[in-house]
Amino acid sequence: VHSSESRSAVGDSSKSAYARERKVVPGGSMRAASWFQPNPPYAARGEGCWVIDIDGRRLLDCANNFFSLIHGHAYAPVLDAVRGAMTKGTAFGMPTESEILLAEALAARNPRMEQTRFCNSGTEAVLAAIKGARGLTGRHRIAKFEGCYHGAYDWVEVSLDPTPANWDDENGNPASVRCNAGTPDTVLRDVVVLPYDDPQRCADILRREGTSLAAVIVDPHASRAGTVPMSRETASVIQEACRRDGIILIADEVISFRLSYEGASPLFGLEPDLITTAKIIGGGLPIGAVSGRANLMAVFDHSAGKPKVSMGGTFSANPLSMAAGLTSLEHYSRPVVDRLNSLGDLLRTRIGKGFADAGVAATVTGMGSLFRVHVGPGKVTGYRSAFPTSEAGNLIRRIQLAMLDENVLLTPNCSGALSSPMTEVEVSAIADKLVRVVRRELG
Ligand code: PLP
């Protein structure tokens, strides 16, 4: 009997909550309900790297609210900061000093984040960065990488999830594939799609299309496109094309900012014009940010009247997100970054060795505190090599649900992120359980 057929991890309270919610919310919860079909566990509370569900089950959380909780749940310093801010009022249509502090904290980490404007999600940050790039260049087309996620905005959802049946155009280049019903053809035409792991083809495409582009958007350690680092070669191809053709290079570090104290770009030799961040910089509260050098960020400057490009929002730079984010970043110091990255190395080494010893056709990828398990014999270098056969896709889902039965939360593609409350104890438990589960499911 496969573990997915003998699911025990979801209790009766979660089952009845899901049945009730499906009546009033299409598909059940907006949250990660689809991750844990047939039934998601409902969270009651979080405590460090653990979530306790409404049936009282303790789950080791490697999903961390979509990788946003770098210090786990209910982290006391963040709670104190939020409480302190909250008692003074939750939102003002006036500036607060908390916004200065968080912008200064980002600038202190990376000089390319000299100035920042805040919003409420990574999606909004990407949308604003693209508008900014258009304002700066007077062009409207963009380029993005195949299979890469940059939020729920139709321009960047192009070719988010192409399949072997539609991923090439008639010239053998990555096609612009519609992700949502109803996305206009004009959007597809105006988004140039680049291969994540083929620098030569990237160079060719950018040579052809470069002068029509406002922006190239890149996440150099893209989660959905394999959870593998981009090659230095590809990074330098885009960097050079952006310089040559006056294209704004946007580094989307919404997840990958956690990879180093300064963020992801310096690890890849990238010198982006604009950087988008979110998730960990909000300490568990809603946030997004666009950062860059002052001369470029001037495109959003509204101090003298109408800006070239507007970027605003009722709850942007609200004092609660600012306070939580500042404390979260203060506690994500160099030693903490290094410790978490070493734990990630240990985790991947142990999983890789476990798979090799067991002789199973599975691999682990990732960098820093991020990891992902793939099923199959091949090396994963990007979206296409990470794309699972239907059999491998089923196995991945079974492994993820079997890990839930082992009280470990992973995302549906079997990826995860470590958080600072974790130690070698949790990392060993994750590795041992994963190897055991993969061995059983693939054996
Ligand atoms: N960009 C990247 C690289 C992401 O991973 C995500 C979310 O996972 C986003 C943008 C969108 O962020 P949000 O969910 O805060 O809108």
CA of 123 to the centre of ligand 1 (A): 6
What residue ranges in 91-208 does DSSP mark as E strands?
115-119, 141-145, 191-194
Which pLDDT tens digit goes with each residue over 40-55?
Answer: 899 999 999 999 999 9
The whole-chain average pLDDT of the chain stands at 95
| ipTM, interface predicted TM-score of the complex | 0.99
**Which atom belonging to ligand 1 lies closest to the Cα atom of 122?**
12
Question: Picking from 3-7, 272-276, 284-288, 394-398, which range would have the lowest pLDDT averaged per residue?
Answer: 3-7
Is the per-residue pLDDT at 325 higher than 70? yes
Which residues' Cβ are closer than 6 Å to ligand 1? Answer: 66, 121-123, 126, 149-151, 219, 223, 252, 254-255, 278, 288
CA of 87 to the centre of ligand 1 (A): 30
Residue 373: closest CA among 346, 391, 355, 359? 355
Fold observed for domain 76-330: Aspartate Aminotransferase; domain 2 (3.40.640)
Which pLDDT tens digit goes with each residue over 290-317?
Answer: 999 999 999 999 988 899 999 999 999 9
Q: Whose CA is nearest to atom 10 of ligand 1?
A: 150
| pLDDT value of residue 37 | 78
| pLDDT value of residue 55 | 94
Mutate to test the pocket of ligand 1, among 124, 279, 321, 413 (most ligand atoms within 8 A of CB): 279
pLDDT class of 6 with cuts at 50, 70, 90: very low
Question: How do the domains of the chain map onto residue ranges?
Answer: 3-74+333-442, 76-330
Segment 330-356 mean pLDDT: 98
| pLDDT value of residue 8 | 56
CA of 170 to the centre of ligand 1 (A): 31
Residue 382: closest CA among 218, 259, 250? 218
Q: How far apart are CA 64 and CA 227, in angstroms?
A: 16
DSSP 179-234: -STT--HHHHHTEEEE-TT-HHHHHHHHHHHGGGEEEEEE-TEETTTTSEEPPHHH
| pLDDT value of residue 39 | 84
CA of 46 to the centre of ligand 1 (A): 22
C-beta separation of 194 from 146 below 8 A: yes
**Which atom belonging to ligand 1 lies closest to the Cα atom of 223?**
5
| pLDDT value of residue 261 | 98
Segment 191-217 mean pLDDT: 97
Fold observed for domain 3-74+333-442: Aspartate Aminotransferase, domain 1 (3.90.1150)
C-beta separation of 364 from 373 below 8 A: yes
C-beta separation of 422 from 341 below 8 A: no
Q: Whose CA is nearest to atom 12 of ligand 1?
A: 122
Q: Whose CA is nearest to atom 9 of ligand 1?
A: 151
Which pLDDT tens digit goes with each residue over 369-423?
Answer: 999 999 999 999 999 999 999 999 999 999 999 999 999 999 999 999 999 999 9
- Beta bridge partner(s), residue 61: 409
pLDDT class of 1 with cuts at 50, 70, 90: very low
Is the per-residue pLDDT at 168 higher than 60? yes
C-beta separation of 70 from 419 below 8 A: yes
- Beta bridge partner(s), residue 46: 51
Q: Which residue has the higher pLDDT, 438 or 18?
A: 438
Which pLDDT tens digit goes with each residue over 225-239?
Answer: 999 999 999 999 999
Query: Is pTM beyond 0.90 here?
Result: yes
Is the per-residue pLDDT at 431 higher than 60? yes
| pLDDT value of residue 33 | 65
Q: Which residue has the higher pLDDT, 343 or 28?
A: 343
